[in-house]
Structure 1
Amino acid sequence: MRVMPPPNEQALNAAVDWLVHREASEPSAADREAFQHWLDQDASHRGAWERVNSALAAPLQTIRTLQPRTEGQPVNAALQTLFKTRRRRVLRGALGVAGVTAASAFVAHRWTPLGQVMADLRTGTGERRAFTLADGTTVLLDARSSVNVRYVADVPSLQHKAGALIATRAFTGPAPLSIHTRHGQAQMDAGRLMSRVHADRTDLVALEGLLHFQPLGLAQSRLRTGEGASFSGGTLERLQGNVVGRAAWQQGMLAVDDWPLGDVVNAIQAYYPGFIRVAPSVSGLRVFGIFQLDVQLLLETLAQTLPVQIRRLGPLVSIDAKPPR
């Protein structure tokens, strides 16, 4: 029997980081190759990986079943607390069941979602933040958003991973600014655009100037100022209604024009550190209005204007149909 050397603290830290990365998003071919290279690099690495997996496998599986993946990630709050707590226990060698349970991890949270830990640009819960890139392009991120930045001949290419961004380019550079999501890509010479990544689609709005975009598997299309589109692999729909209003979050507002309640909750979830559940029976209710991005106030308004009841259990909020009198 081959005996592996005991993993050192550096190897254990690296193993936890690899697990965070693999849980945060679907690993690419390059990610898988780099991980395999790390495993094969030293026997202590494989020992560290097996120890970390053994310590976290059961609670991770429990957390994954608590909620379907949203925005391409598991229940962020639970995973964040789990990794934070269990990292300390792994490094101390305390790998037993004792410690934070999956249930307590679910109701706890940190302010930066798991999938954004290694992003170049990122925001936490309730945070909006502006960044200026090396070429002068500005990128405003909505809450719980993340972007990786790559440069090709000094021109930035934005890998938009989660949440929403508004990119502003006040000049025409040597090449267009490009934005890539898992559903397609867009290019802009100069102007302003908004991109929002959902679990099943990307929404794109031309706030100023001409925008070219290409969904995966489809031909290139374009948007003029004030136009928007929603696309995923092989599908494309033009956004209707107040399209520019979808960028109202930059002023701390939420402009809702005949949205289903489920979409409204998805929009405010990034501003709430707990978890908001919407019952399927009411998720399709239509909502109109302009609201401040104050989650407590917005929930109260929804309860007053829709046939729903809102129940709270600590950081958990449940929106259900109002019972008949």
Structure 2
Amino acid sequence: MNHASANEHRQPSPAVVRQAIEWMLRLNGQEENSRLHRRFEHWLAAHPDHQCAWQRVQSLNTDLNSRFQALPAGGAAFEALEHSAQRLGRRQALKLLSGLLVLGSGAYLARDLTPWQQWNADFATGIGQHRGFVLADGTRLRLNTDTAVNQDFNANQRLITLKRGELLVICGAQGPGPLLVSCKHGLFEGAFGRFVVRQEADSTRLSVTEGRVLIHLPDAPAITVDSGQSYSVNGRRAALLPELDMDPGAWADGLIVTRNMRLDDFLAEVSRYRRGYLGCEQAIAGLRLSGVFRLEDTDKLLAILPQTLPVRLNYRTRWWVTLQRTA
């Protein structure tokens, strides 16, 4: 049994979770402290529960960024926690974060053991998964990584609610009412065709790849979105987006297809499909790349980057990867 499958059947104790949180706070901003990283790697290798706890704490970054709109992406959640530690003292900051993780250890830390989506949504995927479903009217859904969806079909309506993540909809036959996709930022109506809805913290992106979709917002006329167009919707208004630097629906085929995309944006996209931290030095964040990348193994995907860009991969642990400029 490999480490990943073994960890799926572990639930670390609250004491071990606290140790992992403490290591997270210590390591933040200490990229060049090799002695500290050697001590951390020794702790990580000492027991399988340490690895499991570290994996769970790493995944908190994604959860915090989706819950708290004020926190930017890419590890900044823990930067904010570190700032809290400086103001409150490390023990108090540790206590606050431990309360978030440990008090709900049966639910939060074990969400990979018994995923919350199983009891909180009609259809769901975990991190790195994508799955397809066919609804009663023939509508087809494709769920991207870490996505949760509910459906409410009755004699009067066909409603799909995106609770979290990203959804590809291929409209089926006409039903008793319009096919509606609801998210926290707006309501979309698809009569026919194919479209992608991606919900993020402060906005939702709608991309129509075939057909036509209507955007409904409060106190505003419906907006028609044609094939090839993408809109950003924030609950108050919808803005037409320029051409995207990434194919919005390629993930349904297990791909990331980029067009002159910034490296830091690319890594943020890849990080959605794996656990832990993935980032790069600010000096190389603006490097651009175009190409087709397979999502089935993100480590193999990352190994391609040094072949096309002046970068090297630095694996501090299995779940902490940074890219640095080559000398």
Q: TM-score range by the shorter chain?
A: 0.5 to 0.7
For each residue in 1:75-132, what CA deviation from the matched residue of structure 2 results, as whole angstroms up to 9, or x when unmatched? 9xx99x95699439xxxxxxxxxxxxx9xx7xx9837765675121101122211112
Partner of 1:131: 133
Which residue, out of 229, 253, 259, partners 2:255? Answer: 253
| CA distance in 1: counterparts of 2:219 and 2:261, whole angstroms | 27
Which runs of no fewer than 5 residues in structure 2 stay unpaired?
1-56, 76-96
Task: For 2:238, give the aligned amino acid.
Answer: L
Write out aligned runs for 1:1-325 (5 A): 69-72=64-67, 86-87=105-106, 110=112, 118-153=120-155, 155-215=157-217, 219-241=221-243, 245-293=247-295, 294-322=297-325, 325=327
Does the 8 Å contact 1:253/1:290 carry over to 2?
A: yes
Paired with 1:72 and 1:150, the residues of 2 have a C-alpha distance of 25
The 8 Å contact of residues 227 and 239 in structure 1, kept in 2 or not, is answered as: yes
Cα distance in structure 2, aligned partners of 1:177 and 1:269: 32
**Cα pair distance change 1:314/1:147, threshold 3 Å:** same
Post-superposition Cα deviations, 1:188-246, rounded to whole Å, max 9, x if no partner, equal 11222111112222111112211101356754211112222222244533233368931
For the residues of structure 2 that align with 1:113 and 1:310, how far apart are their CA atoms?
A: 31
Indicate if the aligned counterparts of 1:166 and 1:195 stay in contact, CA closer than 8 A: yes
C-alpha separation in 2, matches of 1:227 and 1:161: 23
When normalised by structure 2's length, the TM-score is 0.62
Deviation readout 1:118-150 (Å, 9 max, x if unpaired): 121101122211112232222111121111222
Tell me the equivalent position of 1:52: none
Q: Distance in 2 between matches of 1:153 and 1:64?
A: 40
**Take 1:276 and 1:109, find their aligned partners in 2: how far apart are those partners?**
21
Give, in whole Å, the separation in 1 of the partners of 2:285 and 2:204. Answer: 20
Q: SS of the residue aligned with 2:161?
A: strand
Unmatched tracts of structure 1, length 5 or more: 1-61, 89-101
- Give aligned pairs, total: 244
- Percent identical residues: 27
Please provide the CA RMSD for this pair: 3.8
> Compared with structure 1, are the counterparts of its residues 265 and 109 closer, same or farther at alpha carbon in structure 2 (3 Å cutoff)?
farther
**AA partner of residue 295 (structure 1):** T
Q: For the structure 1 residues 87 and 67, does the alpha-carbon distance in structure 2 shift closer, same or farther, using more than 3 Å as the test? A: closer
